[in-house]
Chain A
Amino acid sequence: MRAFVFGICMFLAGVLPAQASITPPDELVRSVTNEVLEIVRQDRGVRSGDPDKVMALVHDKVLPHFNFRRMTMLAVGRDWREASPEQQQRLVDAFLTLLVRTYSNALTQYRDQTVAFLPLRAASGDTNVQVRTEVRQSGAQPIPIDYMLERTDAGWKVFDVVVAGVSLVTNYRSTFAQEVRAGGIDGLIRSLENRNRELEQGAART
């Protein structure tokens, strides 16, 4: 009996705090960044730009912390409301593929830079926060990279990345709006999927 009670206590001690406290956003960004950079430093395949290795790294370590639905919504803008749930899902898939393909390249450019984590400016009740970092390298100005995160039941999720003042997400908005004006939501989906196919063929060639 005593062992049983002890067991219950251990169970509660182990589980309850885990649910009550999700990783704070700044710690999340720090730990994911450090983990990924450590892998890039160690893994020759990633550093030499092996597409499979880079993709695997991004899919395993980075993407679980992103909310791609919200990112796509922000990129599409007000036309998002006109899209059916099926169209929305195809947009999310196509945009995710485009972003991953494009920005995975950036990882392979990583060499001797260091990433500094700036102090978090947020109140404890905030559900949207900005985590600011700086990529520093000798002989060049630091490049600010800010992550916008929102609190969800599954932990903090990134919904935008802002590099030197430019949002990688909303920078697509007017291009997307232009595609929708020309060919409707389906036209935008087609353009994205075509571009992804071109990128895939380009990657296969090299």
Chain B
Amino acid sequence: MKSKHAAQFKLVSGGARGLAAAACIVVLASGCASTPRNPDDPLEGYNRAMFSFNEGVDKAIAKPVAQVYEKATPKPVRTGVHNFFSNLTDPWIGLNNLLQGKPGEAFSDWMRFLFNTTFGIAGLFDIASEAGLPKHDEDFGQTLAVWGVGDGAYVVLPFFGPRTLRDATATPLDFSANGVSRIDHVPTRNSLLALDAVQLRATLLPAERALEGATLDKYAYMRDFYLQQRRYKIHDGNPPVEYEDFDGAHAPGTSGGIAAVAAEAAVSRLELVEPGSVGPLSAAPLPQHGR
């Protein structure tokens, strides 16, 4: 765990060392804080601490900067910047589609990159979408899932936010495969990475405004949001859906009869299923969306 964090920090930038130390202190300090035990979230104590740390960083730095960016730039500029970074992810998305056995989608992603980089002027304009080549959303974590690797525990990474253990393992690869982080000129690379982070954060501001106050427990809400949306993405938008009936009154005639037997069977079958693992959802988080 520790070495992975160290790697993450190095990727973010050298100046993050102080923050890394701060993050470690937060985690150590709260390591023994008692939180409700949840079988779907064995790392909950650590996760909650890291979640608060990330919230603090967001509130102090990321969100204010994103708000300034949103105010200071007209919408077409923001769209162009978003398209520019989005375009750089398409080759890697295509490779992941290929690795998941979807050569058609892979070809479409590479065509997107070709069109948008040339006719779309270095990706500033997403003409490929207009031309009927839709943007896909793939990463190496999803590829591993398609290959049969299980989710693993839910874990909150510093700065990067929610992941499953599998996706956390894949994150460094996804990150370094991104076109921007392969630029050799360090100041250029870091400026672009920072701009990408800011523009990505800015795309989340409207959703955040709409959802203000929706939750009883923001940590748990974000966790379930991430896991649901993640599952949705892994299944390419068609996760298995099951709606249970927890309502005794719904089951007709509790006094014998075929209906009662069927209802009973349905209920006992459902009892075997963990609440977290059912539902239409187990798919992905806000911060990951919209790329």
Q: Are A139 and B224 in contact, with the CB atoms below 8 A?
A: no
CB closest chain-A residue, reference B233: A165
Q: Are B221 and A73 in contact, with the CB atoms below 8 A?
A: no
Pick the contact of A166: B83, B203, B225, B243 (CB < 8 A): B225
Question: What residues on A are CB-neighbors of B241 within 8 Å?
Answer: 130
Pick the contact of B213: A70, A128, A171, A198 (CB < 8 A): A198
CB closest chain-A residue, reference B235: A165
Q: Are B213 and A202 in contact, with the CB atoms below 8 A?
A: yes
Q: How far is the CA of A179 from the CA of B245 in the complex (A)?
A: 21
Pick the contact of B280: A76, A140, A160 (CB < 8 A): A160
Q: How far is the CA of A144 from the CA of B217 in the complex (A)?
A: 25
* Residues B245-285 near A (CB distance < 8 A): 245-248, 270-271, 275-276, 278-281, 283-284
**Counting CB contacts under 8 A, is A123 at the interface?**
no
Question: What residues on A are CB-neighbors of B221 within 8 Å?
Answer: 171-172, 175
A155-174 Cβ-contact flags toward B at 8 Å (1 or 0):
00001101011110011111
Q: Are A162 and B213 in contact, with the CB atoms below 8 A?
A: no
Pick the contact of B281: A98, A138, A167 (CB < 8 A): A167
Pick the contact of B246: A78, A144, A182 (CB < 8 A): A78
CB closest chain-A residue, reference B80: A139
Q: Which residues of B contact A (CB under 8 A)?
A: 36, 38, 40, 75-76, 79, 82-83, 126, 135, 137, 203, 206, 209-217, 220-221, 223-225, 228-229, 231-233, 237, 239, 241, 243-248, 270-271, 275-276, 278-281, 283-284, 289-291
Q: List 14 A-B contacts (CB under 8 A).
A: A103-B210, A160-B243, A162-B280, A164-B232, A165-B229, A167-B279, A170-B278, A171-B224, A172-B221, A173-B276, A174-B38, A174-B275, A175-B224, A198-B213
Q: Are B281 and A174 in contact, with the CB atoms below 8 A?
A: no
Q: How far is the CA of A140 from the CA of B267 in the complex (A)?
A: 42
- How far is the CB of B221 from the nearest CB of chain A, in Å? 6
- How far is the CB of A126 from the nearest CB of chain B, in Å? 13
Q: Are B232 and A166 in contact, with the CB atoms below 8 A?
A: yes
